[in-house]
Amino acid sequence: MGIPVVDFSKIDGKERADTLALIDHYCQKWGFFQLINHGISDDLLDRVKKVATECYKLEREAAFKNSKPVQLLNELLRKNIDDKIENVDWEDVFLLSDDNGEEWPSKTPGFIETMKEYRTELKKLGHRVMEIMDENLDLPKGYIKNAFDGGVDNAAFFGTKVSHYPPCPHPEKVNALRAHTDAGGVVLLFQDDVVKGLQMLKDGVWTDVQPLKNAIVIIRFFKQWKVQEYFTPSCAPKRWAKEINCFFLQSITQGNHSTCSTIARSPSGE
C-alpha cells in the first residue's frame, strides 16, 4: 500500500471542504501524502529533470569517482572483505541559495535559469501549503509563513540541496541513502517517477511512496518522520538518481525550524 494522494486542483472548487478535511486527516494520521494537479507545469518539471541529469554528468561525476564512499567501497573490494559500508551515504551533494550564486554550476546549459524558475514555483507552492495548514489549524492566513520568516521585516532562508545517487557496481555493499529524519516543518518532494525507492516510516513499518509522474510528496515535519531511499543499490543498480531539496530555514532569531521542498529522480543509466 502506498501513501495517500490528494488532487490539489479541488482546493479551489466545490470540493474544497472535502479536500481540506483530507489534508488535515493525512497531516494528523500519516504525516505525508502526494499532491497531484498542484499547479507546477509538466514542462518546468521535465526541464528540471533534464538539467539536473546533465549537471551531474558534466560537472559532478568525475569528482564522485574519487569521493569517500567510492574509496571505501574500493578498499573493501581490494581487501576482499565480506562486509558493507556503514554510516556513509552513496551520494553527491551541493547547495544552491540566493547567497551563493557564484557557486552555482555554470557549465550546464540552462541549469541556472531553470533552477531559479523552479525555486520560485516551489516557494509559491510551499507558501500555499502553509496557508492550507493555517486554515486547518484555525490560524490567521500567513501565520505559519510569518513564523518561519521571523516577522514581517525578515525572510526565511530558502536553499536548494541537490543530491545525486549514482549506480553502484556492488550494490550489495552499500545503501543509497540511510534512513534519516529531515529537519523542517514541511517538505515538498518531487520523487522519481520511474524507479520506486523512497519510503516513509509509519507505525514502525516502512511504506513505499509509489511513483506518480510529476506528483509532489508533502511531508509534514512538525512531527518528525523518518524517510529512506534505497533504489540505487536495491532496486536499480544500473540506474542513478537525483534529489533536489528546496528548504526554508526560520530566521535565526526565532529558532531552528524549517520548511523544505524536495524532488527526486532516477533516470536510466548506461
Q: CATH no. for residue 113?
A: 2.60.120.330
Flag whether 12 is in a domain: yes
Q: If pLDDT is split at 50, 70 and 90, which confidence band does 1 have?
A: low
Flag whether 132 is in a domain: yes
| Rounded-to-integer distance, Cα 152 and Cα 240, Å | 42
Strands, E assignment, the chain? 5-7, 32-36, 92-97, 157-165, 177-181, 186-190, 198-202, 205-208, 216-220, 226-229, 241-249, 258-265
Flag whether 128 is in a domain: yes
| pLDDT computed for residue 221 by the predictor | 55
DSSP of 252-264: TTT-S-EEEEEEE
pLDDT in tens, 196-206: 777 888 888 88
Flag whether 15 is in a domain: yes
DSSP designation for 267: -
Flag whether 270 is in a domain: no
Q: If pLDDT is split at 50, 70 and 90, which confidence band does 250 have?
A: low
Flag whether 228 is in a domain: yes
| Rounded-to-integer distance, Cα 244 and Cα 189, Å | 8
pLDDT in tens, 105-157: 999 999 999 999 999 999 999 999 999 999 999 999 998 888 888 766 778 88
Those residues with Cβ within 8 angstroms of residue 7's Cβ, 6 or more apart along the chain or in another chain: 19, 36, 37
Flag whether 94 is in a domain: yes
**What is the domain extent for residue 26?**
5-265
Flag whether 87 is in a domain: yes
Number of domains making up the chain: 1
What residues does 200 pair with on adjacent strands? 207, 227
